[in-house]
Structure 1
Amino acid sequence: MTHIPTFNRSLLHPRYWLTWIGIGLLYLVVLLPYPLLYRLGTSLGRLSMHFLKRRVYIAKRNLELCFPTLSSAERTVLLIKNFESVGMGLIETGMGWFWPDWRVKRLFHVSGLENIDLARTHNKGVLLIGLHFLSLELGARIFGIYNPGIGVYRPNNNKLLDWLQTWGRMRSNKSMLDRADIKGMIRALKNGDIIWYAPDHDYGPKSSVFAPLFAMEQAATTSGTHVLVKLAKPAVIPFVPRRLPNGRGYELLILPDEDALPVDSDLATATHMNKVLEQAILLAPEQYMWLHRRFKTRPPGQSSLY
């Protein structure tokens, strides 16, 4: 059962004062005009490469593993653009949490809403496949403005940030579910709800299978997708929030239902889903969260790739 965090006086304790200061600064920053935010975010991202050495190494390694046919120079360009997106991701988190609906909508072009409408006319729940793009907070916000759903998330260890991220995400969505609450997800899907679900990270060996992803033949992939699709029979609809070049705004791409998703085995489901994820990532590869150790879980006997 998921417990939705609420504000209480304990969040005013001095242990959270630095976090409150950071939140206040982010709120003030995102009051700036978007062209300034774009320049600030991309510059901050490039600057962060000098301090986040470990994350730069992880992102570089992921790009080597996934795109071995790219030249070293091409991967370096992609790496730099990716860290520009890291800086923008911080800014976009503030935009997603604090901006009013009208300001978010003004920057977005949305396509594919008919794919959601079609699923709803068939009385299906929707398993909304949201990848870990660095603009995911803003993407969830704009999607919820048009079709409020239920987010799946990992509770934050910082209770203040846990409350804040839940509050921010529920500004235009209905509720949140702990990613461990599989029964809650199945129940919501059977009730016709939209569940925002991200099956693209390495969540460890438990409940995972090894399936191909890009050039990697064995990537630990959650088997949760198989369970949800087999038991709840939802529409499976990927969506991509993509930042346009040179500060020209965003587009939200809602893709067609993956109605051919196989469910005869968890490996078959994971293999097909990873192909879907690849296609979505390639729509904006520089904006994907490459700084996550996507291949940290290896088959027994294999050494770490990092």
Structure 2
Amino acid sequence: MANPSTRNKSIRPLLHPRFWLVWLGMGIAYLLSHISWPTQQRLGAGLGIVLYYLAHRRRHICMTNLDICFPDMGLEEKRELARNHFISMGKGFFETLTCWFQDRQKLLPQTKLTGDHLVREALSHGRGCVLIGGHFSSIDICGSLLAHFLPVHPLYKLQSNPVINWFMERKRDELYKKTIERSNMREVIKSLKTNNIVWYAVDQDYGRKYSVFAPFFGRQCATLAHVGRVIKLSKAPVIAIDYYRTESGYQLDMRMVQEFPAEDEIAAATLMNRLMEENIVRHPEQYFWSHRRFKTQQDPSAPSPY
């Protein structure tokens, strides 16, 4: 179970010797974040290749997901995609360090943003705006870059390590106008009622209690139900966002979602999954294939595919 929020709590208990290795790791991360972007990309690619061969469990999850989502893809093509996925995740590791420890301003010349006028138009109605995105390897760095252009309120998940929580919550407070712990629906509604931008990454399995089942690449999977409920309550406009790494930097693209079916939870979940599919096929190696997307089965008695 994740630790509670560390906001308004002293750092003193986290200086206990049992956390010293974590702090040492944070220091190493700080040093690595100062490496130039091209070098980070090369090191990240190397790290990804190493993990592809060593992280057997994650590679198995990745290959299982690819088997489910791309049944017509050949084995060698799947292996190549899995290898490129790990390379992308390695690059994402270094990008997260840059997000934590470096000034995002230095990456702005390498960043292209399209569709931001749609957000401003959506906010003109006074009901806030919901951004729907997914989990891609560049999510941390692209999120911090997005916050330079738009005052987004992202949802986040607390981590199990209190030192990581302490650091990440404070860093998010620096990067974003406001952040919302993912279970705090009251704050989500409050942000929308005050005409703000709430950013959801909607593509992870939070379990049967919080989900409805909708197709994702042709297979039923647990999909967040409360996003549709939030949109129904707030009547907020919905914009899909895609973010990905390019050879020279980052691209963030937004497009308006017309007639979001907020009255029907399954239809809403189906639409969200289709939006994710459209983003994934543009740059499939950058998706979080090593996440257990199909962990919760529609039939409770069915075995896990993993």
For structure 1, the 5+ residue unaligned runs are none
Residues 1:264 and 2:263 are matched in the alignment: yes
Distance in 2, Cα, partners of 1:139 & 1:97 = 12
Quote the residue 2:304 is aligned against: 304
> Structure 1 stretches (4+) deviating beyond 3 angstroms?
none
Give the C-alpha shift of residue 269 in structure 1: 0.8
Q: Deviations over 1:99-156 (max 9, x none)?
A: 2132131321222211111112222311111211111110110010111221211111
Q: Deviations over 1:207-241 (max 9, x none)?
A: 2111100131x111110111111001112112222
Distance in 2, Cα, partners of 1:176 & 1:66 = 32
Name the Cα RMSD after superposition: 1.5
Distance in 1, Cα, partners of 2:61 & 2:144 = 28
Asked if the contact 2:52–2:59 (Cα under 8 Å) also holds between the matched residues in 1, the reply is yes
Quote the residue 2:105 is aligned against: 102
Quote the residue 1:287 is aligned against: 286
Partner-residue secondary structure (3-state), 2:215: strand
Give the C-alpha shift of residue 3 in structure 1: 4.7
Partner-residue secondary structure (3-state), 1:36: helix
Equivalent position to 1:70, from 70, 73, 77: 73
Q: Indicate the larger mover: 271-280 or 105-114.
A: 105-114
Residues 1:278 and 2:267 are matched in the alignment: no
Quote the residue 2:252 is aligned against: 252
Asked if the contact 1:199–1:221 (Cα under 8 Å) also holds between the matched residues in 2, the reply is yes
**1:70-89 matched pairs, under 5 angstroms:** 70-89=73-92
TM-score (norm 1): 0.94
% identical aligned pairs: 35
Give the C-alpha shift of residue 172 in structure 1: 2.3
Partner-residue secondary structure (3-state), 1:50: helix
Q: Deviations over 1:40-94 (max 9, x none)?
A: 0010011012221000000011011001111112111111110001111110111
Quote the residue 1:130 is aligned against: 133
Quote the residue 2:184 is aligned against: 181
Asked if the contact 2:6–2:165 (Cα under 8 Å) also holds between the matched residues in 1, the reply is no
Partner-residue secondary structure (3-state), 1:155: coil
Partner-residue secondary structure (3-state), 2:63: helix
Distance in 1, Cα, partners of 2:103 & 2:30 = 12
Quote the residue 2:122 is aligned against: 119
Q: What letter matches 2:303 in structure 1?
A: S
Distance in 1, Cα, partners of 2:76 & 2:54 = 22
Distance in 1, Cα, partners of 2:41 & 2:151 = 27
Residues 1:60 and 2:59 are matched in the alignment: no
Distance in 2, Cα, partners of 1:283 & 1:224 = 27
Quote the residue 1:214 is aligned against: 217
Partner-residue secondary structure (3-state), 2:269: helix
Distance in 2, Cα, partners of 1:15 & 1:5 = 21
Equivalent position to 1:163, from 166, 169, 178: 166
Distance in 1, Cα, partners of 2:96 & 2:195 = 28
The 3 A distance-change label for structure 1 pair 130 and 171 is farther
Distance in 1, Cα, partners of 2:104 & 2:51 = 30
Distance in 2, Cα, partners of 1:104 & 1:168 = 17
Quote the residue 2:236 is aligned against: 234
Q: Indicate the larger mover: 51-60 or 94-103.
A: 94-103
